[in-house]
Structure 1
């Protein structure tokens, strides 16, 4: 067995154990006490609203080099300007890690991918969730397509996905939706011989610039800040996912849809690049009160004009497109779903 396969099996086993523990305590959320995350990331009792006092809510995002983190901070500003709530936005490993935080109540809200949400809620799809359904996870709203970007530097000889065979590839943070998607894609196109590295988008860009890796998978709405930064100092190449490879990816996982990175999104990339995408969404847990979820949801979607990120996609009209799990009753009340 290769070192990569041994390491992956160890990580999958660790993930299963962790999620199993979370699933055991998640239940269905009925009658649970609302919790929030303190500044140190530990769960604390939520300050209940009474006499106009505000409550502090924990919002788990993603790595600072992606889209989740800056977008979450824009949500924070909107919510705090339009409600009595304050939001504590935390940088995390993103989707899979955020599911765990929702399950144990250390996060009140989180950004995750719609495919990961479905896998978690139904105990299927990926090894981490097999037989370990996270029953208390609930949907709030979908946001925008999360583009799969495979980035390398010009001169590496990596022009297609097939050229990744034998390469050193950063597949994203451990426990992230990026890592899940990267491995799904590589398996779908038959790439089994590669060395896997795991780090967030910003570190992956540094690894590329330093020659420590050959390519990196990045999942997020374009433009991704870490790739923009890399392209200002290096000649980058975006590896397309198209033709037979694109069809193989979509056949292997129904969550993937056709997407295109427009020309000139990144410096030096003058032509549009075909790829695939999943969908970003806001999730919560069943223990958060309906009033809280409805108030936060209304604040965001009544004020989308105040956003500067993904403004072409985020709207109340499209907020249930691709919703893959049961809606929280507070979100249902807002959207009339």
Structure 2
């Protein structure tokens, strides 16, 4: 009987310890520990980070590819860069959940966020979020000395490459025509991306082409090997009308040394930004943001424009939509956002 009592007490003790162990996960210290190690619970194999870029002839592609390489090779996520039609397509890829990061111009983002321009009649996309600002895109109205085009109004009756439909370049071209009191009907427009348009110009099939990119642009420079480049200025009343209606444009100057033009050329620019899918967890985006800036030299090496403009200090320029909470957390941590 005594042996049975001892055995019963022992079983009660074991059962009590078992219940304590099972209930331990709800204790305050365990909760605090879980909160402090949230990043350790991320399974990077669950994420394939797709970076939407632009045509292979432009700057978006090498710069976006460099972001993808850092995310994959330095941060350990699966990632790839995707060639696209650029700004508007990239925004739609983010909205549709088919890309995680995407490069776009701030004017296109403004249109999607508030549903005007290319996004007229659609629902405002208030869930768009930004990771960082990248670099200025210069509006370059490119022609040659053979065309006779020296001012914007000379585009009347000319064959003009205005960019792929609803691309950032085409949106800019549309606004430029509007600001100068003109429409596409005043020219013989062709919806070619600027790489295609420059090729057509070499063959005498296009008179002028809109190129919105960083400077120098490799495709434009290639044109200069066989032709005398002329950059048509965006200035005067046209530039004034443009900036009044679309304040995300800023007056800029393209130095003569950029394309060996006869003089410096007045134009306007709009900022390129990297947007990110809102649904990505805060800690994933925090880690990506931190990793990007810890490896920023690798991204800057992708192109001279990236080398000149990409920095923590420039990450906030021209931002007209909210940051993703994960990016904001990092910027607050380093003192960029108070």
1:323 CA displacement: 0.6
Matched residue, 2:239: 246
Q: How does 1:201-280 map to 2 (within 5 A)?
A: 201-266=194-259, 268-280=260-272
Instruction: Please list the CA deviations of residues 262-288 of structure 1 after superposition, one character each: whole Å capped at 9, or x if unmatched.
Output: 22212x325321100000000012111
Matched residue, 2:170: 179
Q: Pick the structure with greater CA Rg.
A: 2
Distance in 2, matches of 1:162 and 1:53, equals 55
Structure 1 moving runs of 4+ over 4 Å = none
The 1:132–1:156 alpha-carbon spacing in structure 2 relative to 1, beyond 3 Å, is same
TM-score (norm 1): 0.81
1:54 CA displacement: 7.0
Tell me, yes or no, if the aligned pair for 2:42 and 2:284 is still in contact at 8 Å. no
Indicate which of 313, 316, 319 corresponds to 1:320: 316
Matched residue, 1:140: 131
1:81 CA displacement: 3.0
1:134 CA displacement: 1.9
1:244 CA displacement: 2.5
Instruction: Please list the CA deviations of residues 223-280 of structure 1 after superposition, one character each: whole Å capped at 9, or x if unmatched.
Output: 11211111122222111112222222212321110111122212x3253211000000
TM-score (norm 2): 0.81
Matched residue, 1:24: none
Decide which moves more: 90-99 or 296-305: 296-305
Q: How does 1:1-337 map to 2 (within 5 A)?
A: 49-50=42-43, 53=45, 55-124=47-116, 126-192=117-183, 193-266=186-259, 268-306=260-298, 307-308=300-301, 309=303, 310=305, 311-336=307-332, 337=337
Task: Provide the aligned length of Structure 1 versus Structure 2.
Answer: 287
1:211 CA displacement: 1.4
Tell me, yes or no, if the aligned pair for 2:248 and 2:318 is still in contact at 8 Å. no
Distance in 1, matches of 2:86 and 2:118, equals 17
1:127 CA displacement: 4.4
Whose helix proportion is higher, 1 or 2?
2
The 1:229–1:86 alpha-carbon spacing in structure 2 relative to 1, beyond 3 Å, is farther
Distance in 2, matches of 1:275 and 1:188, equals 13
Instruction: Please list the CA deviations of residues 162-213 of structure 1 after superposition, one character each: whole Å capped at 9, or x if unmatched.
Output: 1111111111111211111111011110223112211222111101111111
Tell me, yes or no, if the aligned pair for 2:285 and 2:327 is still in contact at 8 Å. yes
Unaligned ranges ≥5, structure 1: 1-47
Distance in 1, matches of 2:142 and 2:95, equals 33
Instruction: Please list the CA deviations of residues 67-106 of structure 1 after superposition, one character each: whole Å capped at 9, or x if unmatched.
Output: 1111111222222232011321111111111111000100
Tell me, yes or no, if the aligned pair for 1:149 and 1:218 is still in contact at 8 Å. yes
Distance in 2, matches of 1:249 and 1:290, equals 37
Residue aligned with 2:272, SS: strand
Distance in 2, matches of 1:221 and 1:241, equals 16
Residue aligned with 2:224, SS: helix
